[in-house]
Structure 1
Amino acid sequence: MLCQFSFQNFKSYKDETTFDFRAMAIPEFQDALIRQEKAEDLLPVSAVYGPNGGGKTNLLQAFFCLINLVVKPIHALEKNRQPMIFQQGSSVAPFMLDESSANEPTIFQVFFRVGEKEYQYYISLKEEIVFESLLWRTLGGKKTGLIFERDGQKIELGASINKASINLDVNPKMPYLSFLAINYNIPVIAEVQNWFESCITQSYANPRAENIVLVSKSETTKESLIHALNDVGIDLSGYRYDEDSKHLFTQRTINGKVYELPFEAESDGTKKMIAALPVLMVALQEGRTVVVDELDAKLHPKLLRYVIQMFKNPELNKKGAQLLFSSHDLTTMKNTVFRRDEIWFAAMNDNHESEIYSLYEFRQEDNTRVKSTAAFDKQYLEGRYGADPYLSNMLTGRDWA
C-alpha cells in the first residue's frame, strides 16, 4: 500500500513535492478507509484535477518514472517475481526553467507498506546514481532499520543483508535495489521487489492503451467482468478471444441467440471499460496500487463513478488496493463521491513551476478550510480553489479581445 510519494526536480516540478495517501482526521467516508492495526489510515482513492499544462500528468509520470527505474532492469533480465501488468514508463527529466536545476539531481522517495512493515526507498540521480537507500520499520514501531545505503559507489549494508557474498560493486547507472533483486534471493529485497512489480501504471493519453485488453481464462473472473459491465449498462453476455486470429469478440444474447461483434466495432467508452475493468479487478483482488493518467477519457461520468466506488467499497476492496488518477470530469468532484483529502489540484505558480495541494489543505480567504458540505465542483469552476484561473475569467465575463 502506498503511504506517501515525494519527488524533486522532475519536469515541471522544481521544488520538493509530496503526494500523501494518509487519511486526515476528518469524518467523511470513514468506512471506506484502509485500516491496519498500529498504523495510520490510508485513502483508497485520490483524484488530481487542474488545467491543461498545470502538472497533473507530470505528477503521475514522476511515479511512473520511479517504478520504471527499479523494475525495468529486473524485467529486462527476466528476473521479475510476478507477472507485471501495464507499467507505463517515463524517463528522468529535470526542471529546465532556471539556471541550476538542469545540472542538479532528480530525487524520488516513496513510503509503502507490505504486511506488517513499512519501507522507505530513496533515490537521487543524474546520469548516474548519486544516492540511494532502503529503510524499514515495523508498523507502530519507532526504530528504523537500514537495509542498504549507497553514496555514489560506496555501499553500506544493513544487518539483515550484510553477507560477505553480496557484491558491493555495481553499475553506477543501475539502482542497487534492482541489482540485489536480479542477483540474490534475499527475503526482504524480494518483498520490496514484489511491491514495485505489483504497481500498475497506465496512461490513457496514449490511444493504444485502451485497445490493450487483459483477457482471463478463468470463468469466475470472466463472469465477474461481465457482471460489472452489465452494472454500468453495457449489455454484454460474454466475450471470446480467438487464438488463431488474435482477435477479441464481444457477445450479446438476443432472443436466445448469441451474436458476436469484433472488439474494434464497440464504442470508445465500451472499449475503454472492457480494457480498464479487468486490470482494476486484478488490483482489487490482489491489493495493488493503480496510477492512471486520464482515466476519465472517453468514459461516461457514471462509469467513472462506478470505478471510484469499487475502490471505496470495503466489501470489494478487502486487500487495500488504491487508485490514483488524473481527471477533468467535474461531475464526480462532489462531496457524495470524495473526501476533501482525496481531491488534489495541480497548477503552475508565477515562476512556471508546478505545485500540488489537496482540497483539505486549501485555505479560503478567511483562512478556514473548505467545508465537507460544500459544492466542490461549483466552487472549483468559480476559481475558488486556485487551480483553474482561466475558467474563473470565463465565468466572470472577462473580455479577451
Structure 2
Amino acid sequence: MLCQFSFKNFKSYRDETVFDFQAATLPEFADTLIRMEKCGDLLPVGVIYGPNGGGKTNLLQALSCLISTVVKPIHDLEKNRLNVILQERVACVPFLFNEDSVKEPSEFQIYFRTAQNEFRYYLAILREEIVAESLYRKKIGGKKPARIFEREGEEIILGPSISKSNINTDVNAKMPYLSFLAINYNLPVISEVQEWFESCMIRSYANPMAEFQIMLSEKEAFKEKILCFLNDMGIDIDDYRLDSEEKQLYLKRTIHGKGYELPFHYESDGTKKLIAALPVILLAMYEGRLVIIDELDAKLHPKLLRYVISLFKNPGINMKGAQLLFTSHDMSTMKNTVFRRDEIWFAAENQEHGCELYSLYEIRREDNERVNYTAAYDKQYLEGRYGADPYLQNMLNGGDWK
C-alpha cells in the first residue's frame, strides 16, 4: 500500500512536491480507511483536480516514471514475479524553465507498506543515469529503519541484511540497483520490494488505445464477477465471448427471449471504457494493488465514476487494501458525500510556470480554520476559494473579452 510519494525537478514541478495517502484525523468516512495494527490508517482513494496545464498528469507521470524505471528492466529480462500492467516507460525530464534545474537530478522518494514491513526507496536520475539511490526497511510497529543499500554515484554500501550474500556492487549507471538485485539474486527483502512495484497498475485513458487493451478472461468465476459489476452499473450484458480466430470480443444481450451478439467496437465509448477498466479494477481489489489512472472520468457517466470510487471505499469489497489514484475534471463528484477532505487534491500552475500540489485538507479559510466537511466543495472550488484558476474565474466573472 502506498503511504507517501514525493518528488522534485520533474517536468512541470520544480520544487519538492508531496502526495500523501496517510489519513488525517477527520470525522468523515472513518469506516472507509485501510487499517492495520501498529501503524497509521491509509486512504483507499485519491483524486487530483485542476485546470488543463495545471500538472495533474505530470504528477501521475512522476510516480509512473519511478515505477517503470524500476520495473521495466526486470520485465524486459522476464524476471518479473507478478503480472505487470504498465504503460510505456515514462522518460525522466527535469523542469526546463530554469537554467539550474536542467543541470540537477530529478529526485523521487516513495514510502509504501507490505504485510510485514514499511519501505522507503529513493532514486535520483540525471541524464538517464542513476546518481543516487537508497532502500530502507522498518518492521511495522518498529522504531528504527534499517539500511538495505545506499548508492552514491558509483559507490554502493550494503546493509547487514544482504551484505553477507556475496553480492556484486558493479552495476550499469543507467540501471537502478534495486532492479539489478531483483534480476540477479533471490533475496527475500528485494523480492518483497520488487513484488510491490510490479503490483502497481498504470493506465491512461487520455490515450484512446487504452480502451482496446482488454484483459477479460473466459474463466467462469471471473466472468461472473465482471458481468455482475456491469449489470450493477446499468450495462445490461448477459455474457461475452472472445473469438480467438477473429481476435474479436463479442458482447451478448437477451431481448424478448432471444440472444444477440454485438462486436466490441460497435459498443458505446462508455461501455468500451468500462469493459477495459473493470478487469484492472477487479484485479486491484482481489490482490490489493495500487491503480494509477489518468482521466478515469473520460467518457464515464458521473454515476458510474461514483460507483467505481465506492468499490475502493467499501471495506467489505476492498478487503486487501487496494488503492485508486486518479485525475478528474468531473465536478459532480467533488462532493462531501463522495470524498474525505484529505482525498481531494488540486494541481495548479504558479507564477513561475511551475506546478504546485495541495490537498483540500491543507486549505485554510480567512479565519484560519480548515474547510468544513459539510461544505459544498464543488461550488467553493468553482468560486475560486481553493486556489487561482484563471479559466474558471474568467467564466464566472464574465471575463474580459474586449
TM-score by length of 1: 0.99
CA contact (8 A) 2:218 2:241 kept: no
Q: Distance in 2 between matches of 1:155 and 1:234?
A: 54
Per-residue displacement from partner, 1:59-84 (whole Å, max 9, x unpaired)? 00001100010001001111101111
Which residue pairs with 1:177 in the alignment?
178
Alpha-carbon shift at residue 387 of structure 1 (Å): 4.7
Give the residue type in structure 2 aligned to 1:43.
Answer: L
Q: Secondary structure at 1:308's aligned position in 2?
A: helix
The answer for the alignment partner of 1:336 in structure 2 is 337
Does the 8 Å CA contact 1:2/1:21 hold for their aligned counterparts?
A: yes
3-state SS in 2 of match to 1:239: strand
Q: What is the match of residue 24 of structure 2?
A: 24
Partner in structure 2 of residue 399 of structure 1 = 400
Offset of 1:87 from its aligned partner?
A: 3.8
> Does 2:294 align with 1:276?
no
SS in structure 2 of the partner of residue 360 of structure 1: helix
The alpha-carbon deviation at position 240 of structure 1 amounts to: 0.3
Question: Is the 1:51–1:387 Cα contact (8 Å) retained in structure 2?
Answer: no
Who is 2:59 aligned against?
Answer: 59
- Aligned residue type for 2:64: F
Please state how far the C-alpha of 1:219 moved relative to its aligned partner. 0.7
Q: Please say if 1:390 is aligned against 2:391.
A: yes
Whether 2:2 is the aligned partner of 1:13: answer no
Separation in 2, partners of 1:344, 1:388: 14
What secondary structure, in the 3-state scheme, does the structure 2 residue paired with 1:367 have? coil
Per-residue deviation, 1:393: 2.3
2:212 is aligned with 1:211? yes
Task: Give, in whole Å, the separation in 1 of the partners of 2:79 and 2:226.
Answer: 31
SS, match of residue 233 in structure 1: coil
User: Take 1:165 and 1:87, find their aligned partners in 2: how far apart are those partners?
Assistant: 35
The question of 1:107 aligning with 2:103 is answered: no
Structure 1 residue matching 2:198: 3-state secondary structure: helix
Does structure 1 retain, via aligned residues, the 8 Å contact 2:364–2:370?
yes
Q: Please list the CA deviations of residues 85-127 of structure 1 after superposition, one character each: whole Å capped at 9, or x if unmatched.
A: 2345311000000110001000000000011200000001102
Q: Per the alignment, do residues 387 and 327 of structure 1 end up closer, same or farther by CA in structure 2, a change over 3 Å counting? A: farther
Instruction: Give the match for residue 153 of structure 1.
Output: 154
TM alignment of 1:212-291, pairs within 5 A: 212-291=213-292
CA offset digits 1:302-348 (Å, max 9, x no partner): 11000000000001100000000000001100000000000000001
Corresponding residue of 1:49:
49
Give 1:218 shift: 1.9
- Runs of at least 5 residues in structure 2 that lack an aligned partner in the other structure: none
Q: CA deviation at 1:15?
A: 0.5
**Hey, what's the Cα distance between the residues in 1 that align with 2:142 and 2:39?**
9
Residues 113, 119 of structure 2: 8 Å contact kept: yes
Using the TM superposition, give the Cα deviation of residue 22 of structure 1 relative to its aligned residue in structure 2, in angstroms.
0.3
AA aligned to 1:93 is V
- Distance in 2, Cα, partners of 1:75 & 1:280: 22
The separation in 2 between residues aligned to 1:289 and 1:228, in whole angstroms, is: 20
Asked if structure 2 preserves the Cα contact closer than 8 Å seen for 1:56 and 1:346, the reply is yes
* Contact 1:88–1:201 (Cα < 8 Å) also in 2: no
TM-score using structure 2 length: 0.98
Contact kept in structure 1, 2:218 and 2:242, CA below 8 Å: no
Aligned residues: 401
**SS of 1:39's equivalent?**
coil
Paired position in structure 2 for 1:93: 93
1:234-290 per-position Cα deviation (integer Å, ceiling 9, x unaligned) = 100010000111111111012332210000000000000010011100000000000
- CA distance in structure 2 between the aligned counterparts of 1:303 and 1:42, rounded to whole angstroms: 24
The 5 A counterparts of 1:317-328 are: 317-328=318-329
Structure 1 alignment gaps of length 5 or more? none
1:108-166 CA-partner distances (Å, limit 9, x unpaired): 00000011200000001102111100000011211110101111111111111112521
Q: Distance in 1 between matches of 2:310 and 2:393?
A: 30
Taking every aligned residue pair, what percent have the same amino acid on both sides? Answer: 65
> 2-side partners of 1:105 and 1:258: how far apart?
59
* Aligned CA distance change for structure 1 residues 10 and 48 (closer, same or farther; 3 Å): same
Q: Is the 8 A contact 2:54 2:348 kept in 1?
A: yes
